[in-house]
Amino acid sequence: MPDIPQTRQSLLLELGRKSESAWVEFLQVYEGAIFRMCRSKGLQDADAQDVTQEVLAAVHARVATWDSDPDQGSFRGWLMRVARNISIDSVTNRARRSAGHGSGDSRVEQMLNEAPDPWQEDGSIFDLEYSRSMFAWAGEAVRGEVRSTTWKAFQLTSVQGLSAEDAAAQLGLTVGSVYTAKCRVVARIRAKIIQLEGGPSGPA
């Protein structure tokens, strides 16, 4: 994932303490999602990095409007909705432009224009990338919180699809503790995601 430390720093400096941790988590999840969406829309690496920065800056510009509206719900939830819209709009526009004059070939542009509902289609690309980013982020966080055998038991069963019996034999654990391990990891992942998406903040 490309790093954009300068953007991150300046954005963080401007944000108040209340939303700071929400914003850090937001960046951790969103940077990757936006970047991969750009790539899957055919943008080159450098362009994808540009767009990612633009989107994050545009989202940040909107953050200032947050406090003024009491109907917006939680900061996190609002941030996610705003970011989703801006991401889809910007990436789609940029992909269209670059297809238009980058290649001089209008076939790509035509294809983009012919899609039945480009916004909806890009929405689902974005949602897929977002989910992948979110689970990667939540998984990484949870992995740091549990014992390594707990994580392995979870990964062998819930991700790689081994039976609890096989995983138990491989790790030298009892079947009951494999169930315990995988359920505890999933419960923690769920708590992280709820927190990220605007549930009550603080330790889950």
Partner 1 sequence: MAPSTPCFDHELLHSYLTEELDESHEDRVQEHLENCSVCRKALEEVAGSSELWSEVRAHMADIPSAEESAPDEMLELVALLDRSDDPHKLGRIGSYEICGLIGRGTTGLVLKALESRLNRFVAIKLMSPAYQVNGSARRRFEREGRAVAAVSHEHVVPIHAVDDHRGLPYIVMKYIPGLSLAQRIERDGPLDSYEVARVGLQVAQGLAAAHGQGIVHRDVKPANVILEDTVERAMVTDFGLARVADEASMTHSGTISGTPHYMSPEQARGDLVDSRSDLFSLGSLLYAACTGRPPFRAENVFGVIHRVCKTEARSIRDINPAIDPILVALIEKLMAKPPQERFSSAETVGEA
Residue from 127, 135, 199, 201 binding partner 1 (CB under 8 A): 135
Note whether 146 binds partner 1 by CB under 8 A. yes
Residue 46: exposure state from Cβ atoms within 10 A (0-12, 13-18, ≥19): exposed
Enumerate residues 6+ apart whose C-beta is below 8 A from 132. 32, 33, 36
The nearest distance, CB 135 to partner 1, in angstroms, is: 4
Note whether 32 binds partner 1 by CB under 8 A. no
For the chain, count helices (H), then strands (E): 10, 0
Note whether 197 binds partner 1 by CB under 8 A. no
Note whether 172 binds partner 1 by CB under 8 A. no
Note whether 30 binds partner 1 by CB under 8 A. no
Cβ proximity to partner 1: between 58 and 146 the closer is 146
HEC assignment per residue over 129-198: HHHHHHHHHHHHHHHCCCCHHHHHHHHHHHHCCCCHHHHHHHHCCCHHHHHHHHHHHHHHHHHHHHHHCC
Note whether 6 binds partner 1 by CB under 8 A. no
The nearest distance, CB 181 to partner 1, in angstroms, is: 9
Note whether 147 binds partner 1 by CB under 8 A. yes
Nearest Cα to 19, choosing from 53, 50, 62? 62
Binding site for partner 1 (CB under 8 A): 131-132, 134-136, 139-140, 143, 145-148, 150-152, 155, 158-161, 164, 174-177, 179-180, 182-184, 186-187, 189-190
